[in-house]
Amino acid sequence: MEAPHAAVDFILKNAPSFAKAKAQRVYLEEFRKSKKALLMKDALAKGIEAANAQEREAYADPEYLQHSQHHWLHFYHPNCYPK
């Protein structure tokens, strides 16, 4: 009967850490959309009119790639979860 209590204790102990991590993940996911839109706008200013070409340019931009890599390393790397 101790296992259910241990599970509840674990959840209560780690809830703040998991809540903070989820908030950061959601922020980064939403920011990714804004970053993509800004980079597509830059591509349009450079004369690239087709939306699919703008999207390609945005996805290939070093800033977008850096953001995506940071997001993956921070939230999906096996060492990012509390022990």
d(CA 74, CA 25): 9
d(CA 24, CA 74): 10
pTM of the model: 0.68
> What pLDDT sits at residue 52?
98
The pLDDT profile of the chain, 83 residues, written as one tens digit per residue, is 577 899 899 999 999 998 998 898 889 889 999 999 999 999 999 999 999 999 999 999 999 998 888 777 766 665 655 54
Nearest of 39, 21, 36 to residue 80 by alpha carbon? 21
> What pLDDT sits at residue 42?
97
